[in-house]
Chain A
Amino acid sequence: MSAPTELLNVQIDGVWYQFKKGTRVIEACAQAGKFIPHYCYHPKLSSPGNCRMCLIEMGMPKTGPDRKPELGADGKPVISWIPRPQISCAQDITEGMGVRTDSSLVRECRHGVMEFLLINHPLDCPICDQAGECHLQEYSVEYGTAGSRFLEEKVKKPKRVELGPRVTLDDERCILCSRCIRFMKEIAHDDVLGFASRGSHTYLTAHPGKRLDSNYSLNTVDICPVGALTSTDFRFKMRVWFLKETKSICTSCATGCNTIVGSRENVIYRQTPRENDAVNSAWMCDYGRLNIHYVNSPDRLKFPQVREAQGLANVSWKTALAKAGEELKQFQRNSVAVVASAKMTNEELWLTKKLIDSLGTVYHDVVPRAGQADQLLMSADRNPNTLGAQLFGITSEYPGSKLREMTEKIASGEIRAVVALGEDLTQIGLAESDLKKLTALIVVGILPNETTRNASVLLPACAFSEKRGTMINIKGRLQRLNHATLAPGEARDDWEIIRDLLQQLTGSNGIYLIDDVFKEIAETIPEMTGLSFGRIGDHGVQLVEESEDAQPVAMTV
């Protein structure tokens, strides 16, 4: 039981409000609808108060000779204003505090800071990646002036500095806010960045002998308020205002960091973190962030194919599905195996379970992917939805524990047909020769590999950004994927493919929309009762009580 939070009275621009004790002045103002411009302040980092953009007028209640606050005609405390402007980013509100966010002094201060920040700035907006999402640009419009009084030469600083493998620095654009330094020190715990030299000649650099090569380095690019830090991967690829932003989640590990996918005309250009304190705060790892380019690969599987005498040939979806159905009907029960993926969505896994049930096979599992957990965000489980695969019975408490038996039986010829959903069977210990022995190999996938090349029926599917669906992260949080780009060629949404395979075996099942699938799940799985895509929202829903010892599931291959 927590004590009721104490509320404090604060006057902002003449109006009295109540805020929770412990609220920063700048946050209180924001809550009152008074945005205070700032550069160095970041709610997830310490407050150095260096940019001076958030200066406001502040006052404290005037106390009379009896040491009690003097009250005005309105019965409210009279405020005695501090003559000097104060920063609003580093102080919490106090009882009876007064704040002026729009006085002539405050406007003068912002004006002055804007001018100072711009005099030595290169103003190369036309070729700057940050243009369009740059705080210097934004605040120039609101708080700056059109003309310049600066008649001198600008300070020259290093340009195109490779701070690390993924981050490029332009020191002339840097406004020395120290956000990147603080992020690396306070969040990434890899204190490699710092300032060198002094005064206006100060520049950002990596400490001698150090590189910005942390797996979290690209977060510095996100929080850099200007175009000083750019992503070496993204720079000069696309103007940001052309990017369509789609809320999504990263599917490169079980953490499920919340993201924004930036795409234009079906091409993903970047992925950036989206704040969610229950999952990833405001950050994501570089590995996950950059693991998007395969989506745009020219090798993507685009057409359904079936094996003919000369090899795989393009056919219509109808033909391919019919062929798959025909093959599956021949090999029922334990002569058929289903190798599914913990990268699949809940909806896909739900339908997969139905497929497994109608085939009547006991041979089904997912392929585990294990890595090192890093104490920050990255989970040892590199599959995004192992919990979903467990919840729907595709795998057990020990994902992958059945794979050995399955591969042995495939190699020995006991299992003669395999449905491979998004996984390459050569990655679970089978040789190409084993695959060739199979009478039927029905493959759903997005990129070519040994398995797709040996398919009897190949069904091209969607990457994470091309479909809707839900996944459950390592902490039991149900989250949504959203549709950002279109699949290439004739590739189809995975859930539809699995539904159609199922229909080949069982006839029409009345599922027409992915929402229908989710509805069925919500009606069956107690943890999901009452949920819908809409109810999950942008930040997900916790399905099971979050436990501190939520460990990645054991890996046994």
Chain B
Amino acid sequence: MVSTIRTPHPREKRIIFKNIDRPGWTNDIGCYLHDGGYEELKKAFTMKPGQIVNEVKLSGLRGRGGAGFPCGVKWGFIRPGGTKPVYLICNADESEPGTFKDRYIIHQDPHQLIEGMIISCYAVNAQLAYIYIRGEFPEGAKILERALAEAKEHGFLGKNILGSGFDLEIYVFRGAGAYICGEETGLIESMEGKRPYPRIKPPYFPAALGLYLCPTIVNNVETLCNVKHIVRIGGAEYAKMGKPNNTGTRLLCVSGDVQKPGYYEFEVGAITIGELINDICGGMKPGRTLKAVIPGGSSAKVMSAKDRYKLKTKQPDGTMAETEMGLEDIPIDFDSLAAAGSMAGSGGVIVMDDSRDMVWALNNINEFYAHESCGQCTPCREGSLWMKKITGRMLHGGGVEQDTDTLKSVADNIAGRTICAFGEACAWPTQSFVAKFRDEFMGTAHKKGNGNGSTNS
């Protein structure tokens, strides 16, 4: 993999990405051990599993895979002393458009992930764990295989790890190239050798009825890496990073129309959208102005630079008050982005400048979702392709007056009515693009292009 090696920006706080692009750093276990690797595992074994779960609860760590669910709470769903085996699965399917953080951990620092996983498995008493890696990452899978073999040679995996009495095996499971395999229950079905049809919840919450209907924890790569650092500094100390309910650091993947796209790590909420674009990413391309930002991967609702956002912020006197602000002033953290009507999602920040045609942009997203819908449930299966066909037609000069409203209502008929959150993932872009850039969509009805108005496929 070719990557332009760049030194971290001074405003970054690199914990998870400490070793990414680090001069002289290699991804083998020797280098990792030399740098103090697997010390946190040794420390973890001096603690009781329940203590680790408590530290993770205390840390306030929220899932980095997209939904932002508190990790410690999720772990707490596993009842100690159950009769069924517990599984832990690391979700390395990283398929959300605009997201490219987990792959760097896997490629450059696989032992950080493995150490985080061993500690997590010990905490929830999982003796079998898997890394589910997307099919398009063959190199990553090889690196992980090698790293796991190294860890095993060094006694960090296998029976009676470091004399703790704890046994664990970790295996790499390769996906076959489907976005829906990132959805945790689709992922589990896929591991069971079936089509990755997400399961209905209730009853199939993974923590109760997961892999082979046994209690299962599914966590994102970045989430599991954080566990190692929570053990290192303690949950309370970890919680001091970021802000309340938005603790720790966050990996951000910036793509689109900025001068310096790339990956960065900040304390959660430490920078605003404007600071990220202008100070960190070198600003917009010459002569261009900011039009819109999708802040958390392609599923997140688009935010327009023209809009004003009302957010509750902490006043100098310590009280909370509603403040109106522009897009660039919104801090990048879970709660602020949610309050502004979008989400922090997977950390994929997609920046669009004034040259972007929003119908084109939405059609691009719609093509992705129409292709990736698993097809199991009616609204998403039929709606995702319908939306794509409409935006495709609008784009090629076949737009009609009612398209904009039809688009919105199709999306409304998907969101909240499907088996899995893919329904929202595919509806939110349409809902938000149409709401925020209505004139551009309405304009296509009068724009004549080269299309004949119909879309095939």
In the complex, are the beta carbons of A198 and B373 less than 8 A apart? yes
In the complex, are the beta carbons of B370 and A200 less than 8 A apart? yes
Q: How far is A85 from B381 in the complex, measured between Cα atoms in Å?
A: 18
In the complex, are the beta carbons of B384 and A112 less than 8 A apart? no
In the complex, are the beta carbons of B384 and A115 less than 8 A apart? no
Q: Which of A33-85 contact B (CB under 8 A)?
A: 47-53, 55, 83-85
Q: How far is A109 from B379 in the complex, measured between Cα atoms in Å?
A: 10
Whether A194 sits at the interface, judged by CB under 8 Å, is yes
The answer, among A50, A83, A119, A197, for a CB contact under 8 Å with B377, is A50
Q: How far is A49 from B375 in the complex, measured between Cα atoms in Å?
A: 13
Whether A150 sits at the interface, judged by CB under 8 Å, is yes
Q: How far is A314 from B318 in the complex, measured between Cα atoms in Å?
A: 111
Q: How far is A47 from B203 in the complex, measured between Cα atoms in Å?
A: 11
Knowing A153-B454, A194-B195 touch, does A175 contact B373 (C-beta < 8 A)?
no
Whether B456 sits at the interface, judged by CB under 8 Å, is yes
The answer, among B370, B383, B412, B416, for a CB contact under 8 Å with A85, is B416
Q: How large is the interface on B (under 10, 10 to 19, 20 to 34, 35 or more residues)?
A: 35 or more
Q: Among B17-25, B125-133, B242-250, B385-393, which stretch is in contact with chain A?
A: B385-393
The answer, among B371, B374, B413, B416, for a CB contact under 8 Å with A84, is B416
The answer, among B197, B385, B400, B418, for a CB contact under 8 Å with A199, is B385
In the complex, are the beta carbons of A109 and B377 less than 8 A apart? no
Q: How far is A202 from B419 in the complex, measured between Cα atoms in Å?
A: 17
Q: What distance in Å separates the Cβ of B277 from its nearest Cβ neighbour in chain A?
A: 34
Q: How far is A151 from B407 in the complex, measured between Cα atoms in Å?
A: 12
Whether B455 sits at the interface, judged by CB under 8 Å, is yes
Q: How far is A26 from B456 in the complex, measured between Cα atoms in Å?
A: 39
Q: How far is A112 from B375 in the complex, measured between Cα atoms in Å?
A: 16
Knowing A50-B419, A87-B200 touch, does A175 contact B386 (C-beta < 8 A)?
no
In the complex, are the beta carbons of A115 and B413 less than 8 A apart? yes
Whether B417 sits at the interface, judged by CB under 8 Å, is yes
Q: Which of A69-114 contact B (CB under 8 A)?
A: 83-85, 87, 90-91, 108-109, 111-113
In the complex, are the beta carbons of B200 and A198 less than 8 A apart? no
In the complex, are the beta carbons of A202 and B417 less than 8 A apart? no
Q: What distance in Å separates the Cβ of A464 from its nearest Cβ neighbour in chain B?
A: 42
In the complex, are the beta carbons of B375 and A201 less than 8 A apart? yes
Interface string of B354-376 (1 = CB under 8 A from A): 00000000000000001111111
In the complex, are the beta carbons of A199 and B378 less than 8 A apart? no
Q: For A90, what are the chain B residues with a Cβ–Cβ distance below 8 Å?
A: 200, 202-203
Q: What distance in Å separates the Cβ of A42 from its nearest Cβ neighbour in chain B?
A: 15
Whether B161 sits at the interface, judged by CB under 8 Å, is no
Whether B402 sits at the interface, judged by CB under 8 Å, is yes
Knowing A194-B195, A198-B374 touch, does A85 contact B382 (C-beta < 8 A)?
no
In the complex, are the beta carbons of B416 and A176 less than 8 A apart? no
Whether A116 sits at the interface, judged by CB under 8 Å, is yes
The answer, among B381, B383, B385, B419, for a CB contact under 8 Å with A49, is B419
Task: Give the nearest-CB partner of B371 in chain A.
Answer: A199
In the complex, are the beta carbons of B413 and A150 less than 8 A apart? no
In the complex, are the beta carbons of A120 and B400 less than 8 A apart? no
Knowing A90-B200, A152-B454 touch, does A199 contact B417 (C-beta < 8 A)?
no
Whether A117 sits at the interface, judged by CB under 8 Å, is yes
In the complex, are the beta carbons of A151 and B378 less than 8 A apart? no
Knowing A52-B418, A194-B195, A195-B195 touch, does A119 contact B375 (C-beta < 8 A)?
no
Q: How far is A116 from B383 in the complex, measured between Cα atoms in Å?
A: 7
Q: How far is A195 from B412 in the complex, measured between Cα atoms in Å?
A: 27
In the complex, are the beta carbons of B417 and A85 less than 8 A apart? yes
**B contact set with A: CB distance below 8 Å:** 178, 195, 197, 200, 202-203, 370-379, 381-386, 389-390, 393, 400, 402, 406, 412-413, 416-419, 453-456
Chain A to chain B contacts (Cβ below 8 Å), 17 pairs: A48-B197, A50-B377, A84-B416, A85-B417, A90-B202, A91-B202, A91-B203, A111-B413, A113-B417, A116-B386, A117-B382, A149-B402, A150-B386, A151-B400, A153-B454, A198-B371, A199-B385
A112-B379, A176-B381, A201-B375 given; name 17 further pairs at CB < 8 Å.
A50-B376, A52-B418, A85-B416, A91-B203, A108-B413, A113-B378, A113-B413, A117-B378, A119-B382, A152-B454, A152-B455, A153-B455, A198-B178, A198-B371, A199-B373, A200-B384, A202-B375
Shortest Cβ-Cβ A-B pairs, 10 listed: A112-B413, A202-B375, A116-B382, A200-B385, A152-B389, A199-B373, A49-B200, A84-B416, A199-B375, A198-B375
